[in-house]
Amino acid sequence: MNEKELWNLLDEVMDPEIPVLSLVDLGVVREAKLANGNPEITITPTYSGCPAMKVMEEDIEAVLQGAGFDEYRIKTVLSPAWTTDWITEKGRKALQEYGIAPPEQATSDKNVLLGHPKEVTCPHCKSRQTKMLSQFGSTPCKALYQCNDCKEPFDYFKCI
Amino acid sequence: MEQKQALFNYLLRLGDNAAILGHRLSEWCGHGPELEEDIAIINTALDLLGHARSLYTYAGEVEGKGRDEDDIAYLRIEREYRNALICELPNGHYGDTIARQFLFDQFNYLLFSELVNSTDETVAAIAAKAIKEIRYHLRRSTEWTLRLGDGTEESHNRVQQSFHDVWMYTGDLFVQDESDKAVIEAGIGPDLTLLYPVWQDKVKEVLKEATLEMPENGWMQSGSKQGRHTEHFGYILSELQYMQRAYPGCEW
């Protein structure tokens, strides 16, 4: 196995809370190397208290063991701090299709300037007429929004 | 004072602030005033526990006696905890919790904004991660201060009383001792006396907008740096440490 294949293997490991998003697309896997044929993986938490880190590590171990690796190292680093900019285009699309609004990137909307919540597009009907219900959603990385048009509540992946 | 000991003390204080306030906030789980708020406050607790874990782990490494995050979190006695007194105060009603949180968040935000530039790489890395979350906490507790202060007559009066009640514990946040001095000299942490006027201005600004009166400085309760706690602290430990005391070394 080469390093590209190792990355492809890791791309099969899904986020335990958002099962359509791989850890690679989420930007949690920072490095994947082979040292004398043994994988050395570096991961970083999305949030300091993210309770899914342990599960992520175990899921990576399971995939590595499944591929026949007996010896490997998984290291957790805090720096540089994870940012939503690391979510890949493929990951953003997967979030959208799953019903979670991906983090808004360019901040041209004036709400942010005035200290109001960001304009977020509804992942269901694509309306921009949405409102924030709570700064925190079902996990620390998400906020809770509602669409004023289709009335559906939805999770928004917070931009950090 | 030896540099290593000073850094260890410093990390314990930062870690204890996060762990004890996080524990307090977690007591709201299932009791929040509304569902969204219940979720929000527990997420804040979770962030703080995350900060505590990183800080305790590093404190254990600096100490070099083989203690891990759990040993430090669960196996100390009352006087060995060094959290600021404000962090251990009871939740009270929601206004009390918000007043405590806003004043602490404002302090924590200023502190961690400086720790990001720490000469200690690990402290800087933990702070760079934490500051993104603390910014969110501050935004939320600021909004609630405005909402309750500039809300109904009832909410205004009650949260005004909350700010008066908690005020005498704010001085303790800025007390410095030998460990702080060593840490400041080494460029690891900021001089809190420089942060104090900024903290005061920011608090004043928000309270004014919230139509609240800024409490006057009177008697300030201190003692956290020597491990002298309020009468509320023992109850926190008896709950927090129950499992480890009843079943030493238990894991799940």
* A55 and A115 inside one domain: no
Contacts of A48 in chain B (CB under 8 A): 47, 50-51, 53-54, 126, 129-130, 133
- Is A12 contained in some domain? yes
Q: Where are the domains of chain B?
A: 3-246
Q: Mark yes or no for CB contact A136/B44 under 8 Å.
A: yes
Closest in B37, B40, B129 to A48, CB measured: B129
Residue B203: count of CB within 10 angstroms of its CB: 20
Minimal C-alpha gap between B132 and chain A (Å): 7
Residue partners of A47: CB distance under 8 A and separation at least 6: A140, A141, B46, B47, B50, B133
Q: Is residue B39 less than 8 Å (CB to CB) from chain A?
A: yes
Contacts of B132 in chain A (CB under 8 A): 81, 160
Total count of domains within chain A: 2
Closest in B50, B130, B136 to A135, CB measured: B136
Minimal C-alpha gap between A37 and chain B (Å): 30
The average confidence (pLDDT) of chain B is 96
For the stretch A4-25, pLDDT in tens is: 999 999 999 999 988 999 999 9
pLDDT at residue A50, rounded to an integer: 85
Instruction: Name the CATH superfamily for B3-246.
Output: Ferritin, core subunit, four-helix bundle (1.20.1260.10)
Out of A84, A113, A135, pick the residue that ends a domain. A84
A46-B123-A138 Cα angle (round to 5)? 25
% helix, strand, coil for chain A, step of 5? 25, 25, 50
* A105 and A66 inside one domain: no
* A10 and A78 inside one domain: yes
* A76 and A123 inside one domain: no
- Is A11 contained in some domain? yes
Residue A131's domain comprises: 99-157
Interface-testing mutation among A17, A44, A48, with chain B (most B C-beta atoms within 10 A): A48
Q: Give A115's pLDDT tier (boundaries 50, 70, 90).
A: low
Cis upstream peptide for A80 (omega within 30°) = yes
pLDDT at residue A1, rounded to an integer: 85
Question: Do B60 and B68 meet the contact criterion of CB atoms below 8 Å apart?
Answer: yes
Joined together, the tokens standing for residue A84 give: 């939503």
CA A14 to CA B238: how far, in whole Å? 39
* A116 and A58 inside one domain: no
* A67 and A109 inside one domain: no
Q: Is residue B227 less than 8 Å (CB to CB) from chain A?
A: no
- Is A94 contained in some domain? no
Interface-testing mutation among A30, A54, A85, A136, with chain B (most B C-beta atoms within 10 A): A136
Q: Which residue has the higher pLDDT, B2 or A62?
A: A62
- Is A52 contained in some domain? yes
Residue A44 clears pLDDT 60, i.e. is over it:
yes
Residue B197 CB-half CA count within 13 A: 2
* A18 and A70 inside one domain: yes
Q: Give B230's pLDDT tier (boundaries 50, 70, 90).
A: very high
Contacts of B51 in chain A (CB under 8 A): 48-49
For the residues A12-41, what does the mean pLDDT come to?
94
pLDDT at residue A111, rounded to an integer: 52
Question: Do B95 and B159 meet the contact criterion of CB atoms below 8 Å apart?
Answer: yes
- Is A93 contained in some domain? no
Q: Mark yes or no for CB contact B47/A51 under 8 Å.
A: no
For the stretch A86-113, pLDDT in tens is: 999 999 999 999 999 998 865 444 554 4
Residues of chain A with a CB closer than 8 angstroms to some CB in chain B: 45, 47-51, 77-82, 133-140, 144, 158, 160
For the stretch A137-149, pLDDT in tens is: 878 788 899 999 9
Instruction: Give the torsion sign (CA, B37, B39, B45, B51).
Output: negative
Contacts of A79 in chain B (CB under 8 A): 121, 124-125, 128-129
* A22 and A77 inside one domain: yes
- Is A91 contained in some domain? no
* A70 and A7 inside one domain: yes
* A124 and A79 inside one domain: no
Residue B183 clears pLDDT 90, i.e. is over it:
yes
Out of A84, A107, A131, pick the residue that ends a domain. A84
Closest in B36, B50, B139 to A48, CB measured: B50
For the residues B239-251, what does the mean pLDDT come to?
90
ipTM score: 0.79
* A64 and A30 inside one domain: yes
CA A10 to CA A108: how far, in whole Å? 35
For the residues B156-167, what does the mean pLDDT come to?
98
CA B179 to CA B156: how far, in whole Å? 40
Residue partners of B71: CB distance under 8 A and separation at least 6: B60
Residue B227 clears pLDDT 90, i.e. is over it:
yes
- Is A68 contained in some domain? yes
Question: Do B129 and A48 meet the contact criterion of CB atoms below 8 Å apart?
Answer: yes
Contacts of A80 in chain B (CB under 8 A): 128
Q: Mark yes or no for CB contact A81/B125 under 8 Å.
A: yes
Burial tier of B74 (Cβ tally within 10 Å: 0-12, 13-18, 19+): middle
> Which parts of B64-149 fold into alpha helices (H)?
69-74, 94-115, 121-149
Q: Give B2's pLDDT tier (boundaries 50, 70, 90).
A: confident
Percent of chain B scored above 90 by pLDDT?
94
In terms of DSSP bridges, do strands A153-157 and A100-101 run parallel, antiparallel, or are they unpaired?
parallel
* A23 and A78 inside one domain: yes
Residue reference for tokens 């962090």 = B87
